[in-house]
Structure 1
């Protein structure tokens, strides 16, 4: 029996926010899990008839129950052939930053000893007043390195900046875009260092296609999650690491109605905005004022150069730390 264990780490994007199925979130990682091993129609029917396991989807809980088993394929109708099994464990938590992945999700992930592990995180770091690209780089380096040492196939992605997807005014959006570019540059460099399978998701037509996004404009909807799963499947298949059918790009469920979207924005969305107003907004206004001053003086390029220098310094610090044990 071919048994593939796929563990997903990260934040609300990987948790599946924006893709509700059966009262819980599904998301791109669960959709991707279904295409990691081969399947055929006849064997699939036999698997259903005989009650054989297909894709086991599990979610991590911190309580006494530990791993809580959920329905096969998390609401999807895809199954795999008898003799092949994908075990999917999602450790991602909404709101997680790189610190949370390092301190909480990494120990659980290492204990599970995955064959494939995805680490997609960083946007929430850019939305905090505590943003520090040096700390982000150091944390991701530790997480990537730990899984690489175990021999897991590492999946990473660079992501679009939240200011752009939210449609913020330029003076507010540009500082967030600069932060996200810094995170993406670090992810690119570390992905290359550890031989990760990397998806460049920071650009493309999908970013401006409203049908890809949920009501909050920060998380993909089902169609957007399917697009991410499809693109991850393509890069894995190219590397010979996925031989199952690619996820369908077409939604399985109807999009939320306008009234449902408005209700979400009036409830959960309002809470998110309130939290960011007390955390990020004061600093973001300061950054926006700095942005406007530099623009008026024609020196906006200095802000980009400053951000690039910070990324270079953060990566250089990791290289120095890596060489120190050898020097000793």
Structure 2
């Protein structure tokens, strides 16, 4: 298993997040009121322990793992982080030409460069998206293969891994926003807690793995109707962008490119 940092011997004052829409915070807030997201929530936990913490978020929605490496690694290294999170690959596994080894190779280059510069790095594994979006069930082998590669690459570089792939709670619909592609505010909070535990932060534990209270299961007709509504509202536009060669991140840049003090939400 990847090494878990000793919370008694390491503190973090310069946290930089690299990634795609999940790290950017999509699903937790919006572009009008602002995004929060799991990386912001993790930064808030760090700042609660030490107000001197500074935090930058370089993530941009729609980015493939190779784009994250090409666009974000250099700026991240320039910020000299003592903690970095690297989360990418879901956009890749949705593409026809997905190659798990190649995607993990992009991640590993970032792991190697950041740990080589002295940063503690953390990453995550991905839940089975087929349990979240029924139409995505054929992608399950891709998710499992990518997770195996991530674990192996992380182990080679002492990267902490938050195993968000494993608890059943992470595929509960309440953990996901209405588009089923991005975590809900509750889901983002659970991811932050998972990464905190992987890093061994003081006060962290495995409570993020616990299931939510049971809720009624919709009947077959209602479930089918929900699938059709989802396909029309989210799958259709996503496919249209793919056909046009567009991305949800076109024209966007990092929302927090510099290290800044952390202000707690609310």
Question: C-alpha offsets along residues 119-163 of structure 1, whole Å, 9 cap, x if unaligned?
Answer: 011111111123123321321221110001001000011102333
Asked whether the equivalents of residues 126 and 179 of structure 1 are also in contact (C-alpha less than 8 Å), the reply is yes
Q: State the partner residue of 1:27.
A: 37
Q: State the partner residue of 1:229.
A: 192
Q: State the partner residue of 1:179.
A: 142
Which of the residues 78, 92, 98 maps onto 2:59?
92
Alpha-carbon distance in 2 for matches of 1:94, 1:141: 20
Q: Secondary structure at the match of 1:138?
A: helix
Alpha-carbon distance in 1 for matches of 2:185, 2:67: 26
Alpha-carbon distance in 1 for matches of 2:57, 2:231: 26
Q: Secondary structure at the match of 1:96?
A: coil
Which of the residues 72, 86, 99 maps onto 1:119?
86
After superposition, where does 1:220-259 map in structure 2 within 5 Å?
Answer: 220-237=183-200, 242-243=201-202
Q: State the partner residue of 1:198.
A: 161
- Alpha-carbon RMSD: 2.8
TM-score (norm 2): 0.72
CA 1:208–1:243 in 2, change beyond 3 Å: closer, same or farther?
closer
Q: Unpaired runs of 5+ in structure 2? A: 1-10, 209-227, 246-266
Asked whether the equivalents of residues 123 and 195 of structure 2 are also in contact (C-alpha less than 8 Å), the reply is no
Q: State the partner residue of 2:259.
A: none
1:137 equivalent in alignment to 2:104: yes
Q: Unpaired runs of 5+ in structure 1? A: 40-79, 250-261, 280-328
Q: State the partner residue of 1:13.
A: 22
Alpha-carbon distance in 1 for matches of 2:87, 2:19: 5
Q: State the partner residue of 1:274.
A: 240
Question: C-alpha offsets along residues 152-183 of structure 1, whole Å, 9 cap, x if unaligned?
Answer: 00001110233332111xxx622x11111111
CA 1:264–1:33 in 2, change beyond 3 Å: closer, same or farther?
farther
Q: State the partner residue of 2:173.
A: 210
Q: State the partner residue of 1:64.
A: none
Count the aligned residue pairs: 214
Tell me how far 1:103 sits from its aligned partner. 0.6
Asked whether the equivalents of residues 101 and 149 of structure 2 are also in contact (C-alpha less than 8 Å), the reply is no
Q: Secondary structure at the match of 1:36?
A: helix
> Which has more radius of gyration?
1
Alpha-carbon distance in 2 for matches of 1:5, 1:148: 14
Asked whether the equivalents of residues 12 and 94 of structure 1 are also in contact (C-alpha less than 8 Å), the reply is yes
Asked whether the equivalents of residues 38 and 245 of structure 1 are also in contact (C-alpha less than 8 Å), the reply is no
Asked whether the equivalents of residues 35 and 245 of structure 1 are also in contact (C-alpha less than 8 Å), the reply is no
1:189 equivalent in alignment to 2:189: no
Q: Secondary structure at the match of 1:130?
A: coil
Alpha-carbon distance in 2 for matches of 1:144, 1:127: 23
Alpha-carbon distance in 1 for matches of 2:131, 2:145: 15
Asked whether the equivalents of residues 13 and 219 of structure 1 are also in contact (C-alpha less than 8 Å), the reply is yes
Q: State the partner residue of 1:321.
A: none
